[in-house]
């Protein structure tokens, strides 16, 4: 049976990217060696990382003066590296859920942290708006897409302070005005690559300003100067990231990714709103296009496990919601074909026909 992969992360990658990676695991570019056993200092791998960096810059239209880094450690490591490198005295954080809270916790070790707004009052089902950002902060940190709660900041905010964003789960799903940011980072395992590599975009002129000693591996300048090769980088995930970027370019770039994301999200939210058995969990204007959360409608809560089984039997994978929201979460990343969303919608419709009478 065909599987429809709605995993939240690590998550679906384009089939042709997986096939090309598999080939290179056996024989990389006719070298007679596996990508798993070549030196990161070889000219063959240098060409891979150079192309990954160039395509990354091209896809996001990154202006001059920025570096793109491929590091280990995950987005979670950046929660600490960001304040280590950019927080001099005071930073502002927008609290939109679990990941934002984790980022804020680390920043507190480096200076004063102002929570400019929070949606904790409604279990993070919306994005706070109209908040004031103190003008004397070193930066405002936002989480553009809240993978767990299914809300998303779909436009780059207008603020008068430097912006920093965790874009782990919506990078490359829309055009971004990178010039507004001094740093953009994320774990690559949602829209770009298998787990193991973290992307970081930094504005070079903002580095080296805190006056504090930064341990070598946690200092962005180390990795800018070393071209992400100060130490051994995650070779295979960087290679796959490069292939995903090639794929994305061939498809039409981030504008096309955005068009597809809107199309898929409209389809699924449309069904959630129409189907009497299900209901959305987030405010409509803040709905994420990447992580679509829904629960059983009032009166049908007892059917949750039943639907989970029903969907699994029809090939749906990874739709169980995060424990802090419950219900269901369908992650619709770039590589997820529209056919998979159509299959989920058909499954919800079929379930409604069969169980509508079972209201408690
Ligand atoms: C997945 C995720 C993280 C954590 O990433 P790791 O690479 O596992 O550290 C952080 N922020 C967001 C928004 C995420 O979706």
* CA atoms of 319 and 105, how far apart (whole Å): 29
DSSP state of 62: P
Task: Please write the tens of the pLDDT for every residue from 285-323.
Answer: 999 999 999 999 999 999 999 999 999 999 999 999 999
Q: How far is the CA of 93 from the centre of ligand 1 (A)?
A: 16
Average of per-residue pLDDT across 196-200: 98
Residue-by-residue DSSP string for 116-174: EEE-GGGTT-S---S----TT-S-EEEESEETTTTEE--S----SS-EEEE-TTTTTSS
Look at ligand 1, atom 14, and give the residue with the nearest C-alpha: 168
Nearest-atom number in ligand 1 for the CA of 148 is: 15
Q: Which two tokens stand for residue 68?
A: 């793109």
Q: CA 358, CA 360: separation in Å to the nearest integer? A: 6
The CA distances from residue 22 to 29, 52, 234, in Å, are 12, 18, 16
Ligand 1: distance of its center to the CA of 315 in Å?
26
For residues 227 and 63, give the distance between their C-alpha atoms in angstroms, rounded to a whole number: 18
Question: What pLDDT score was predicted for residue 93?
Answer: 98
Q: Cα(first)–Cα(last) distance of the chain, in Å?
A: 33
Residue nearest to atom 8 of ligand 1 (CA): 74
Measure 98 CA to ligand 1 centroid, in angstroms: 10
Kindly give, in sequence order, each residue whose CB lies less than 8 Å from that of residue 345, ignoring residues fewer than 6 positions away.
Answer: 267, 268, 271
CA of 109 to the centre of ligand 1 (A): 20
Extract the tokens encoding 217. Answer: 């591996």
pLDDT, position 286: 98
Mutate to test the pocket of ligand 1, among 10, 74, 150 (most ligand atoms within 8 A of CB): 74
pLDDT category at 351 given cuts 50, 70, 90 is very high
pLDDT above 80: residue 359: no
* pLDDT of amino acid 187: 98
**Model confidence over 5-63: pLDDT tens digits?**
999 999 999 999 999 999 999 999 999 999 999 999 999 999 999 999 999 999 999 99
Is the separation of the CB atoms in 107 and 97 below 8 Å? no
Query: Residue 249 in contact with residue 58, Cβ under 8 Å?
Result: yes
Helices and strands in the chain: count of H runs, count of E runs: 9, 14
Q: What is the pLDDT of residue 355?
A: 87
Confidence band, pLDDT 50/70/90 cuts, at residue 336? very high
Mutate to test the pocket of ligand 1, among 76, 77, 194 (most ligand atoms within 8 A of CB): 76
User: Residue 92 and residue 254: Cα distance in Å, rounded?
Assistant: 29
Pick the catalytic residue from 57, 154, 190, 203. Answer: 190
User: Contact at 8 Å (CB) between 207 and 194?
Assistant: no
C-alpha 32/C-alpha 218 separation (Å) is: 36
Active site residue: 138, 166, 170, 286, which one? 166
Q: Which residue matches tokens 């990354």?
A: 56
Say which residue the tokens 């509508």 belong to: 356
Given a cut of 90, is residue 356 above it in pLDDT?
no
Residue list, ligand 1 pocket, CB within 6 Å: 9, 74-76, 99, 143, 147, 166, 168-169, 187, 190
Dihedrals phi, psi of 166, to nearest 5 degrees: -85, 110
Residue 75 Cα to ligand 1 midpoint, Å, equals: 5
Of 7, 10, 75, 192, which is best to mutate to test ligand 1, by the most ligand atoms within 8 angstroms of its C-beta? 75
Distance 43 CA to ligand 1 centre (A): 31
190 catalytic residue (yes or no): yes
* Catalytic residue selected from 99, 138, 170, 264: 99
The pLDDT value recorded for residue 360 is 73
**Do β-strands 198-203 and 151-152 pair in parallel, antiparallel, or remain unpaired?**
unpaired
């Amino acid at each position: 049976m065909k599987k429809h992969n709605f995993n939240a992360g690590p998550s679906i990658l384009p089939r042709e990217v997986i096939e090309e990676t598999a080939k290179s695991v056996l024989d990389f570019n006719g070298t007679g060696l596996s990508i798993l056993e070549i030196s990161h200092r070889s000219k063959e791998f240098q060409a891979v990382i150079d192309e990954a960096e160039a395509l990354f810059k091209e896809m996001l239209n990154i202006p001059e003066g920025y570096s793109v880094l491929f590091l280990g450690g995950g987005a979670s490591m950046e929660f600490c590296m960001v304040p280590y490198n950019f927080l001099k005295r005071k930073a502002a954080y927008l609290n939109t859920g679990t990941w934002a809270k984790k980022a804020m916790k680390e920043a507190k070790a480096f200076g004063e942290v102002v929570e400019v707004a929070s949606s904790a009052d409604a279990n993070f089902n919306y994005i706070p708006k109209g908040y004031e950002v103190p003008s004397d902060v070193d930066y405002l940190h936002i989480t553009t897409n809240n993978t767990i709660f299914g809300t998303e900041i779909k436009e780059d905010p207008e603020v008068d302070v430097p912006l920093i964003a965790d874009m782990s789960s919506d990078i490359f799903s829309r055009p971004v005005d990178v010039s507004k940011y001094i740093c953009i980072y994320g774990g690559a395992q949602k829209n770009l690559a298998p787990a193991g590599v973290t992307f970081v975009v930094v504005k070079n002129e903002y580095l080296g300003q805190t006056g504090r000693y930064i341990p070598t591996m946690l200092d962005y300048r180390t990795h800018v100067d070393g071209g992400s090769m100060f130490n051994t980088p995650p070779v295979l995930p960087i290679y796959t990231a490069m292939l995903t970027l090639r794929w994305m370019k061939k498809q039409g770039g981030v504008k096309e990714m955005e068009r597809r994301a809107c199309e898929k999200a409209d389809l699924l939210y449309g069904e959630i709103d129409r189907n009497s058995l299900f209901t959305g969990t987030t405010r409509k204007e803040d709905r994420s296009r990447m992580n679509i959360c829904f629960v059983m409608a009032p009166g049908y809560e007892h059917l949750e496990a039943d639907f989970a089984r029903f969907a699994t039997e029809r090939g749906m994978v990874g739709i169980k919601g995060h424990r802090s929201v419950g219900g269901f979460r369908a992650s619709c990343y770039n590589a997820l074909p529209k056919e998979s969303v159509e299959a989920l919608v058909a499954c919800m419709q079929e379930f409604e026909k069969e169980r509508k009478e079972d209201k408690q």
